[in-house]
Amino acid sequence: MNTTIALALIIITLLGVELGYRFFLKREFQKAADLAALAGAQQVRAGCSVGISAALANANGSGSNDVQRNLPVGFSLSANAVQCGFWDATGGFRAPTGTQIANAIRVNMQQTPVAIVSFFGSDRNIGVSAVAALGAPIASFSVGSKLITVSGNSSLLSPLLKGIGLDLSGTSLLAYDGLAQAKVTPGGLLKALGIPVSADIGVGELNTLLAGRTVTLGSLLDAIVTAAGQNQLLSANLALLQAIQAKLGLSNLNVQLGTLTGSNGLFAQIIAPGGSGQSALNVGVNALDLIYTAIGVGTSRHAVETGLNIDLLSLAKITTQVTVIEPPSIAIGGIGARAYTAQVRTYIRVKTDSGLLGTLLSGLIKLDLPIVIDVVSGTGEVTDMCRPELQANGKDRANILVTSSLLQMCVGQIAASDLFSAKDACTSSKLSSMELVNVLGLLKVNNKLAVNGLQGTPQQVLLAEGETKTTDVNNLPLGTLVADLVGQISNLLFGNPPTGAPTGAQLDALTSQMWDNTASLCTADTPACRGQRYNSVITSIRQQSNQSGLLTGLLNGVTDLLSGVLNDCTGLLGLGGSTTGCKNMIKNSLSSSSNSGGNAISNALSVLVGLLKPLLNAVGAQVLTPLLQNALGINVGQIDVNLRSLDCKASPMLVY
């Protein structure tokens, strides 16, 4: 009996030792697998082979140095037990696809310890697994249209605001220059706004939170300067906000903080590998970028008068308005994160309803050109980042693909509801034909015209943290673009020469207008003065008819006065003649017609059409080019890309 009890106790003790030994080894194996995965993940940025080698060395030791090994003596980790791959919270561990870069090491280890009790169990294999992954690399950047050069006492913020149509001359903006070197985290900004964010928020939840929050522009400006530690700018914010509201004629401006599909906010949709929102909340964003972008979002689709004083040959009235159709944004995230420039719309209306031509010749000629110009729509997208091959001088870099559309132009009728709300106003569904010109009722143009956006060549920009680069200038100069638009308008208006003749009343009005325009030469009712004024009118008829392009031969009935020749204007040898006689001779010249391409073209019609040519040239020279380059400060075709922060050195962590 005692022997039986003793044997039982011995067996129980041996079984306990066997079980304890196996539990001890499993714990050691798991610890070794965890440490090997972490060591491999720490080196995986240098390549999968480097990461796998680091994991093996951590588990097995290097060379004959067993002191550095983490596996118990007698056991080793084989190369086929270590895999390199990509890990995120949604898909787990898998092979990288597309633009994904390996960021994780998995260790699947099977070991068979020696049995202490040979008869205890046939399966002695102990299996352990571990997955370690690097925290996701993350960047913040912005893109914007090329700005005018800042010099002297100009502020940094002023040209940024000019680029979205806000010329706040007379408002002191120099105080904001200190924000160019200050960084604000999205988490710090949300805290300053009083918006709570949970510590474990996912990136999807963060995007939804930001896109669902709208704050006033004033409170956002205050939160930015507070988070940047620049509380002394709070009073400047009030002056800036009042200047913006006065410019727009609005009292309430709101800003959406985030972006989801179909919406645009201060931050573009965040792309954070790993699905964690915490890394995005801790990224440093330039405070001056936040100020400019917040104003761009807040003033989006609120048109402002440019205040240009333009006199188009005293012929037409020009009105110009500018607004941001698609606001700028700041991008935060990894590969696939995108930032957008502000797409600025300029609306120009050229009408002959005032000025010399509009008031005196309104019954003869009418011109109405509604011109829409959308300038510089650009996108930057992170395509590669944080790989050793991208480094320069020991600095990590990110590759950003920049695409841009220089501009879209169209002429025609656009509904008021679409003019400053639809980003695609120049498409066929929004643009309709209208009467653009009517000369004497004989030359009527009812049409529309659209010039598609000229795509810039996509460019890859490689940047380190804090760097800014500007894309290449598009090979097509702005002057050529303007000339192309004006040329197409001219072809649209004058492509089909009209036939017919004006009425007597129309000829009388045109005659009186042309005669009155010569009053600056002299006003005396003498043959010499009348002759001088008559010859000036005839010269004008020739010039305007020639530039109209409608007449190819000599003008019929258009003759100069010869001294000593009897006529109704100057009489003969200084005797006789009258102003009425001069006007009758001019009217006869205007009523005559010449042949052009087989069609009889009235001299009067060619004169009026000739008036439109310099008007259209002036639209290009005095309106379009100065508006885009001087008033808005935009050099068409160039995009600035700013990489504000880049974090590639995230620590590895066990994720399984």
pLDDT (tens digit, 9 = 90+) per residue, 136-159?
788 898 887 654 344 445 677 877
Split at pLDDT 50, 70, 90, the class of 362 is low
Residue 601 burial (C-beta neighbours within 10 Å; 0-12, 13-18, 19+)? buried
Q: How far apart are the first and last CA of the chain?
A: 52
DSSP notation for 463-501: EETT-EEEPPPPSS-HHHHHHHHHHHHHHHHHSS---B-
* Among 139, 157, 270, 253, CA closest to 204: 270
Give the pLDDT band of residue 456 (cuts 50, 70, 90).
Answer: low
Condensed to tens digits (0 to 9), the pLDDT of residues 85-107 reads 888 767 788 888 876 778 888 98
Res 373 pLDDT > 70: yes
Report how far residue 56's alpha carbon sits from residue 69's, in angstroms, rounded to the nearest whole number. Answer: 9
* Alpha-carbon span 160 to 165, nearest angstrom: 9
Residue 277: name the closest of 230, 208, 347 by CA: 208
Q: For residue 462, give the amino acid letter.
A: L
Domain ranges of the chain: 2-134, 139-495+618-652, 504-596
Q: Which of 24-38, 345-359, 434-448, 487-501 has the lowest mean pLDDT?
A: 487-501
The pLDDT, as a whole number, for residue 625 is: 62
Q: What's the pLDDT at 177?
A: 86
**pLDDT, tens digit, for every residue of 218-241?**
999 999 999 999 999 999 889 899
Q: Do residues 140 and 330 make contact, with C-beta atoms less than 8 angstroms apart?
A: yes
Q: What is the pLDDT of residue 534?
A: 93
Distance CA 404, CA 472 (A): 11
Q: How confident is the model at residue 634 (pLDDT cuts 50, 70, 90)?
A: low
Mean pLDDT of 199-204: 80
> DSSP string covering 504-556, please?
HHHHHHHHHHHHHTTTTT----SHHHHHHHHHHHHHHHHHHHHHHT---SPPT
Mean pLDDT of the chain: 78
pLDDT at 355 over 70: no
- Give mean pLDDT, residues 542-563: 75
- Comparing 467 with 317, the larger pLDDT belongs to 467
Q: Which of 36-45, 402-411, 442-451, 610-619 has the lowest mean pLDDT?
A: 610-619
pLDDT tens string 279-320: 888 888 888 889 988 988 998 888 877 655 555 555 677 778
Percent of the chain with pLDDT over 70: 75
Q: Does residue 600 have a pLDDT over 70?
A: no
Name the token pair of 620: 């290009």
Which of 641, 642, 640, 636 lies closest to 473, judged by CA? 636
| pLDDT score of 148 | 39
Q: Highest mean pLDDT: which of 113-122, 480-489, 613-622?
A: 613-622
Strands (E), 341-388: 343-351, 365-385
Digit-coded pLDDT (tens) for 568-587: 898 887 778 899 999 999 99
Q: State the average pLDDT over residues 530-549.
A: 86
pTM for this model (two decimals): 0.71
pLDDT of residue 252: 85
Q: Would you state the pLDDT for residue 499?
A: 62
Task: Report how far apart, in Å, the C-alpha atoms of 245 and of each of 254, 257, 492, 562 are.
Answer: 12, 20, 40, 65
Please give the average per-residue pLDDT across 616-627, as a whole number. Answer: 65
Confidence of residue 491 (pLDDT cuts 50, 70, 90): low
Instruction: Give the count of alpha carbons within 13 A of 60, CB side only.
Output: 18
In Å, how far are 8, 11, 15, 406 from 2, measured between CA atoms?
10, 14, 20, 100
Q: For the chain, give the percent of residues with pLDDT over 90.
A: 12
Is the model's pLDDT at 36 over the cut of 60? yes
Q: Residue 466 pLDDT more than 80?
A: yes
Decide: 294 and 264 in contact? Cβ < 8 Å.
no
* d(C-alpha 245, C-alpha 439), whole Å: 42
d(C-alpha 19, C-alpha 34), whole Å: 22
Q: Which range scores top for mean pLDDT: 221-230, 403-412, 540-549, 590-599?
A: 221-230
Query: Which residues face 316 on adjacent strands?
Result: 312
Assign 655 a pLDDT band (cuts: 50, 70, 90). confident
Encoded amino acid at 66, one letter: D
Tens digits of residue pLDDT in 14-26: 555 566 666 777 7
Over residues 258-270, the pLDDT tens digits come to 988 767 898 999 8
Q: Which residue has the higher pLDDT, 476 or 383?
A: 383
